Amino acid sequence: MLRKANPYRELERSIGYRFRDKSLLETALLHRSYRFENSPQNVDNQRLEFLGDAILGMATAAYLYNAYPDKLEGKMTALRSRVTSGKALAHTAHSIDLGVFLKMGKGEDQSGGRKRASNLADALEALIGAAWLDGGIRAMDKIFKTLFQPQIEALSDNVWEGNPKGQLQELTQARWKASPQYRITGKEGPPHAAIFDVEIELPDGTTASGRARSKQSAEAAAARAALETLSPK
């Protein structure tokens, strides 16, 4: 008797875990658009995504707590965000070609759904939730060591890269037990190409400013400027 081929062999190899119950894996890869286009289908990966989000957050927090006893809460939070944010999860999912395995509606597929960051991030969280149901802590440990631990180890020496606001927040909390205050001081140009001016005030009264094409980018620019005026004591 011929054994049925496993269509998920490469995916399981990429995540470091082999599912016992393949139906859980299939559900994790089932985008809601497929359910909408196929009326008898009454399940998709959204519930597993909810579970996986919580499981990944717990696993990452536990790893950081045990692996880096010298790091403060702010730096551990930043590290966790660097590997569990939607953008980071989408990048990880792309690296294992997760989009190839997604089952979705024709409309979503034709509009580029297999490469859409939100779909990839959601599917990866759903896959983690499915693995937890399939194999518990053992399953999560294997996936975490394969996909996430190497990322954390690579980032640990530069935890605040790309997050000047987070770095400044930790610095002001440590020095003054207070947070910096941001305010928009100017906005010019048409709505589709507006330029924002933002001023930041530190707890000691020091100010710095930033200018960019979005409020968030202007705040980040102001935070970088403020960091240049400060030096660790």
Task: Tell me which of 44, 108, 125, 199 is the catalytic residue.
Answer: 125
Give the tens place of pLDDT for each residue, 73-98.
Answer: 878 888 888 899 898 999 999 999 99
Question: Catalytic: 49?
Answer: no
CB 210 within 8 A of CB 151: no
Domain 164-229 has CATH 3.30.870.10: no
Place of tokens 């939607």: 86
pLDDT tens, 11-70? Answer: 999 999 999 999 999 999 999 998 888 877 788 999 999 999 999 999 999 999 999 998
Higher pLDDT: 127 or 6? It is 127
128: β partners = none
Query: Using one digit for the tens of pLDDT, what is the confidence trace for 143-194?
Result: 999 999 999 888 756 666 677 888 888 788 878 888 999 999 999 988 888 9
The predicted model scores a pTM of 0.71
User: Which of 1.10.1520.10, 3.30.565.10, 3.40.109.10, 3.40.50.150 is the CATH number of 9-158?
Assistant: 1.10.1520.10
Q: Which two tokens stand for residue 165?
A: 């606001």
The catalytically annotated residue of 49, 53, 134, 219 is: 53
Known active-site residue 204:
no
**The pLDDT of residue 9:** 93
d(CA 177, CA 164): 18
